[in-house]
Chains A and B, each alone.
Chain A
């Protein structure tokens, strides 16, 4: 007992195993596609496109930690994006749109929370229905149209959220990083995060401990909605365009990012740092595979393989099984002295 290796201790640092997976993946891409992954452009494009996915993943991490699921966040990206673009076109003032986008996300989250916590609808059903409803409402309100809001490029909000720091680093990456830090503190150092984990672990025990389970669930769905609203602002501002189906393609990649990051689908355990690296793995994977020259119909197959390997590696390293295996191998090669007696 107590003879834990340095490796095992490192593996226990939150997010380190999945960070190692990401680093390994980039290393492999550097070898297989050196002219792409040793330059800065590919990383800048990741920093441009991954942040909305990451922000969505942060919100979903809280929901999954609480033992629930939210399938409506992609619809919030469309609905909040609509509010943002519509108000900009109507009032020519992006900040009203910004507030409305976050408020729209909060509204969707609040309704989800009430349905799940107060009425007792299973979250998978409540949020699936919400996904259809808010997507449908967005299409209805927009009249099915896509809108170009290129005038927003001249506004301060564009510079603030998606401008290029030092001329090349997308600002949205910094926002997403800042939100990751904030969410980590919220989940791991704040009473709210503690409540979320207790609720996810066992809601009955949480109730006995004096936690208001219903209120906690509503809060976390609202948080998820607000973050999805912010992701919509980042995406719409970056693309200078609103389209009614925006966000649709994020559903599976975002869920994959959260689960690759190590958060447990059973609840009670959530890893914000894991989600951060998971988002970068998922968001970089296909581009990396393509850059290596594996073309044609191989891309998805290889992507799936790497994704699966990432999850397995993360679990193996995270659980310390790799360290145990390495100790066993060392023991076979150099038998440890029996100090007993």
Chain B
């Protein structure tokens, strides 16, 4: 019900924009849509330019910027929380109309910085990783959230893995960046869902090298599977590791379906893995919307003083059953 209300709120806001655009439809040139003066938005995209967990977000943000007369300044941090904070400071120094931040550095790191920026009249909103206290404090000023409820998304993935054929007592491993709490929220959801189903679950940490070059995960997981041949499931919420899991299973001599794999995001290699049956389920957090909606939020607040909207973009999974419908959209960088 709450979700539906939020959706209605977003649709209403979008309608407002469309109405504003409509006023210009009668113009003779029909070229630029008048949605107001150009505004400048700095946006943290998360990873690196073009990586599978970032591309669709960038595309969504660009599409919104083009539609809403927004000058978009993209910031890439390689998922480094410290870099995110530094980029936020740089963005504030440029005094833009709005800044979209990632929640990974946490509320303590951002609190005073956000307060100062809000005091300067900059609209701040967040994506991908929530900052609930700051959102509550500055919601009236446009501080919203567009992203998955990461823990719930992970839990959903874990439940879908169980539904793919796991049983109580089966052994599973969840491979993720456990040494960085802010980047393992989703995987904690996977872990808890598997444990709640009665599985014996182990945590395995993704090193910084694997985080950057996920193909290095192949021998590590091959070794793990050899050491633990009774492993029935692998969970991860690392997009690039997910893309490499079919290679891992091949190297370990596993056939599709021998090990239930639950991952995240939809890179081309992940799609192939789902199509071949190596990946049983991938959590789809609809990254395109995580790019589009924060830019929309800043535009709505700047122009129409609309408060921050809290939108959960992660409510679905992609499986071998629905991959064929979604694959063409992924190829276009939309899903």
Interface residues of B in 48-77 (CB under 8 A from A): 48-52, 54-55, 58-59
Q: Does A48 contact B (CB under 8 A)?
A: yes
B58/A249 in contact, CB under 8 A: no
Q: Does A204 contact B (CB under 8 A)?
A: no
Residue B227 contacts which of A240, A293, A299 (CB distance < 8 angstroms)? A293
B223/A290 in contact, CB under 8 A: yes
Residue A286 contacts which of B48, B207, B226, B251 (CB distance < 8 angstroms)? B207
Given A35-B226, A35-B227, A245-B220 contact (CB < 8 Å): no
Residues of A within 8 A of B267 (CB): 146, 241, 243
Interface residues of A in 253-271 (CB under 8 A from B): 253
Main secondary structure of the interface of B (DSSP, over half): helix
Residues of B within 8 A of A238 (CB): 215
B50/A290 in contact, CB under 8 A: no
User: Closest CB of chain A to B325's CB: distance in Å?
Assistant: 18
Residue A145 contacts which of B213, B220, B243, B333 (CB distance < 8 angstroms)? B333
B223/A146 in contact, CB under 8 A: no
Residues of B within 8 A of A235 (CB): 215
Can you name the residue of chain B whose Cβ is closest to the Cβ of A249? B213
Interface size on A, residues (CB 8 A): 52
Can you name the residue of chain A whose Cβ is closest to the Cβ of B253? A41
Mark B residues whose CB is within 8 Å of A. Answer: 47-52, 54-55, 58-59, 178-179, 202-205, 207-216, 218-220, 222-224, 226-227, 229, 240, 243-244, 247, 251-253, 267-269, 271-272, 333
Residues of A within 8 A of B203 (CB): 295-296
User: Closest CB of chain B to A37's CB: distance in Å?
Assistant: 8
B216/A147 in contact, CB under 8 A: no
With A and B bound together, what is the CA distance between A196 and B126 in angstroms? 53
A248/B50 in contact, CB under 8 A: no
Residues of A within 8 A of B54 (CB): 144
User: Closest CB of chain B to A123's CB: distance in Å?
Assistant: 23
Q: Can you list 27 A-B pairs, Cβ within 8 angstroms, ordered by A? A: A35-B229, A36-B223, A41-B253, A48-B219, A48-B251, A144-B55, A144-B333, A239-B244, A243-B50, A243-B51, A244-B48, A244-B49, A245-B49, A245-B51, A248-B213, A249-B209, A286-B207, A287-B219, A287-B222, A287-B223, A290-B220, A291-B226, A291-B227, A295-B205, A296-B203, A300-B208, A303-B207
A241/B268 in contact, CB under 8 A: yes
Residues of B within 8 A of A283 (CB): 216, 219
